[in-house]
Structure 1
Amino acid sequence: MLLVEAQICQRRSLTWSGFCGNSGNCDLRCRNSEGALQGACHRQFLGFACFCYFRC
C-alpha cells in the first residue's frame, strides 16, 4: 500500500491587515475568506502576521 502525505504550503493572508494577536481570529479568516485549511499568527520582521495554510 502506498501512502502519500499531503504537502502543506504557507503564505501570508491576503485579507488580513495589521498586527495579528489572536490566532483564533486569523484561523477563522483564513478558512472562511481564503479557503485555507487553517491559519495562525507568526512573527514576521518586528511584528506578527496572519499566515494561512493550504494544500500545495
Structure 2
Amino acid sequence: RRHICDKNLEALNESNTKNTHDLLGNVLVTAKYEGESIVNNHPHKGTSDVCTAL
C-alpha cells in the first residue's frame, strides 16, 4: 500500500519507549489497527483481495 496508517508510530512518545520490547509493542498495536482498517474499509470485502492487502 502506498499509504499506511502510522499515526500511532508518529505519536510515539520516546520517553515511553525505553527498550526494544516497548518498541515492538508499539509496532504491533499499529499493525493491529492497520489490519482492522484494511478489513473494514477495503472496497472488495469478502474477496481474496483483502488478504493480499494485508
What TM-score results when the alignment is normalised by the length of structure 2?
A: 0.31
Question: Which structure ranks higher in relative contact order (CA pairs < 8 Å, sequence separation ≥ 6)?
Answer: 1
Q: Specify which structure has the higher proportion of helix.
A: 2
Which entry has the higher C-alpha Rg, 1 or 2?
2
